[in-house]
């Protein structure tokens, strides 16, 4: 099976990130290899619905793959066949009515407010800090936590992304969609100071905002390792990643009463469904508010108030 034209479409027309296109390529290649090895099928038009189902059984059963990974792989194949159907390259879509593995209900991992305070207390006052690496690490973590941006969005920042006077930052999200995220005075001071020290350390550097210790553009593993290292010093949570800081950003906003639609826009979600995953974290607080404020909320030793 050939995927070059489809992958080019994802890159140039849908403008998906390199990371996403790479994932599509890997998932489709795995599917094509399965069809070739198990059924001797090399042509996308010869694939049947039973072959797709057999592939999913192999992923879930023999390979013990997580439901989230199986869903992603099936989505790649479905998108490929939808593309072929729209262009008249495929008469039948073998992925229709294929049952999708259900995802277990997951809670978003967050960092507690006191742990966040300890995290940033490890850094010196930016105005007194002349160490590039320390300022860069401080800014890297502050941007993730104070704006909720994704790791890829962080790496893609340039000096032109900043509107320091207005305290806003322009972020390019999934599908090339841009959004403006506001930030506070402390982050503005940190940005100013970082740019000063960066220019002194690496004159005439590339337009990327954040750089490695050698003055190069950041890469995903660099950001991941930094976050894991610093979070490891303040939290015992098993999951430590840039996305945990994004979860923390959203959860804390909602916990302080922020409008769900506003949080959706700040995160760059395309639908409210993706944002609603954070609302569960505030259920205990709402329950406590109910118990304290509603006449029927508090537990009573005697008969219920509504009983006659």
Q: Give the integer Cα–Cα distance in Å for 156 and 170.
A: 10
Instruction: Report angle CA 170, 171, 175 to the nearest 5 degrees.
Output: 135
Let me know if 278 is a catalytic residue.
yes
Write down the catalytic residue from 198, 246, 247, 264. 246
Verify whether residue 198 is a known catalytic residue: no
User: 243 an active-site residue?
Assistant: yes
Q: From the candidates 150, 198, 240, 264, which is the catalytic residue? A: 150
**Cβ of 212: how many Cβ atoms within 10 Å?**
14
What one-character DSSP code corresponds to residue 110? -
Q: Which of 118, 174, 226, 280 is catalytic?
A: 174
Q: Is 224 a catalytic residue?
A: no
**CA 27 – CA 252 distance, rounded (Å):** 35
Which of the residues 14, 49, 243, 280 is marked catalytic?
243
Alpha-helical runs (H) found in the chain: 4-12, 18-39, 49-57, 67-86, 113-121, 132-147, 151-155, 185-201, 220-232, 242-255, 260-267, 272-275, 283-293
Tokens 């259900």 belong to which residue?
Answer: 102
Work out whether the CA dihedral 87, 90, 96, 98 comes out positive or negative. Answer: negative
What amino acid positions are annotated as catalytic residues?
150, 174, 243, 246, 269, 278
């Amino acid at each position: 099976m050939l995927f070059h034209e489809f992958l080019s479409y994802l890159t140039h027309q849908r403008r998906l990130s390199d990371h996403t296109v790479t994932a599509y390529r890997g998932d489709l290649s795995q599917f094509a290899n399965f069809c070739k090895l198990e059924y001797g099928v090399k042509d996308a038009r010869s694939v049947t619905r039973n072959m797709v189902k057999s592939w999913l059984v192999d992923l879930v059963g023999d390979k013990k793959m997580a439901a989230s990974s199986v869903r992603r792989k099936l989505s790649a194949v479905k998108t490929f066949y939808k593309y072929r159907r729209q262009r008249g390259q495929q008469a039948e879509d073998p992925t229709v009515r294929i049952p999708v593995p259900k995802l277990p209900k997951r809670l978003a991992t967050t960092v507690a407010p006191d742990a966040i305070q300890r995290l940033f207390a490890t850094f010196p006052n930016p105005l007194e800090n002349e160490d590039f690496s320390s300022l860069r690490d401080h800014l890297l973590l502050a941007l993730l936590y104070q704006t909720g941006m994704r790791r890829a969005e962080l790496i893609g920042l340039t000096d032109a992304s900043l509107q320091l006077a207005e305290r806003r930052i322009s972020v390019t999200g999934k599908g090339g969609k841009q959004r403006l995220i506001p930030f506070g005075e402390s982050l503005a001071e940190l940005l100013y100071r970082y740019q000063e020290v960066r220019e002194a350390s690496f004159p005439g550097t590339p337009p990327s905002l954040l750089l490695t210790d050698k003055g190069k553009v950041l890469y995903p593993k660099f950001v991941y390792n930094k976050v894991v290292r610093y979070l490891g010093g303040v939290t015992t949570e098993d999951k430590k990643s840039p996305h945990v800081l994004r979860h923390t950003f959203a959860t804390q906003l909602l916990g302080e009463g922020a409008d769900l639609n506003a949080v959706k826009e700040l995160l760059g979600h395309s639908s409210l469904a993706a944002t609603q995953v954070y609302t569960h974290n505030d259920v205990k607080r709402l329950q406590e508010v109910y118990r304290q404020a509603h006449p029927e909320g508090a537990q009573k030793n005697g008969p219920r108030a509504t009983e006659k």
